[in-house]
Amino acid sequence: MKGMVAFAATLASWAQAVATEEGVDGAALYQQNCASCHGAELEGQPDWRSPGPDGRLPAPPHDATGHTWHHGDDILFRITRDGTAAVVGGGFESDMPGFGDSLGDAKIRAILDYIKSTWPERERAYQRERTQQE
């Protein structure tokens, strides 16, 4: 188990180093690509737990009031890269597109690192546990 934790920490450090080397600013990328739906302050859309008239859920917050921190890194990465519907499957419909073609892996990881950096320690600890369980 310790080996897996060390490996995960090494991967996280490597991803951060790659993002830094490439001059990737996760906060700026979030504002450019995510804030229009998820809010400039990560607050999400109003009534995000209730489907709209089209049956789709509004964009959830990415701050501690939302559920983003309930998911491990792999799920968050795949949702951002491929879109929610592709990851959830089963005919689930979502307005969340995939950003893999337009952003690439390093920029997606930088955005996710930024989002996670805004959470209180309790949420970050829970999310780290979820990541280890994946």
Domains of the chain (ranges plus CATH)?
2-133 (1.10.760.10)
129: tokens are 């546990």
Q: Which residue, among 42, 58, 18, has the nearest Cα to 114 in the 3D structure?
A: 42
Spell out the residues 6+ positions from residue 9 whose beta carbon is closer than 8 angstroms to its own. Answer: none
For the entire predicted model, the pTM comes to 0.81
User: E strand or H helix at 24, and its extent?
Assistant: none
3-state secondary structure of 6: helix
Per-residue confidence of the chain (134 residues) as pLDDT tens digits? Answer: 555 444 444 444 444 544 444 679 999 999 999 999 999 999 999 999 999 999 999 999 999 999 999 999 999 999 999 999 999 999 888 999 999 999 999 999 999 999 999 999 999 999 999 999 98
Contact 75, 134 (CB under 8 A): yes
d(CA 132, CA 119): 18
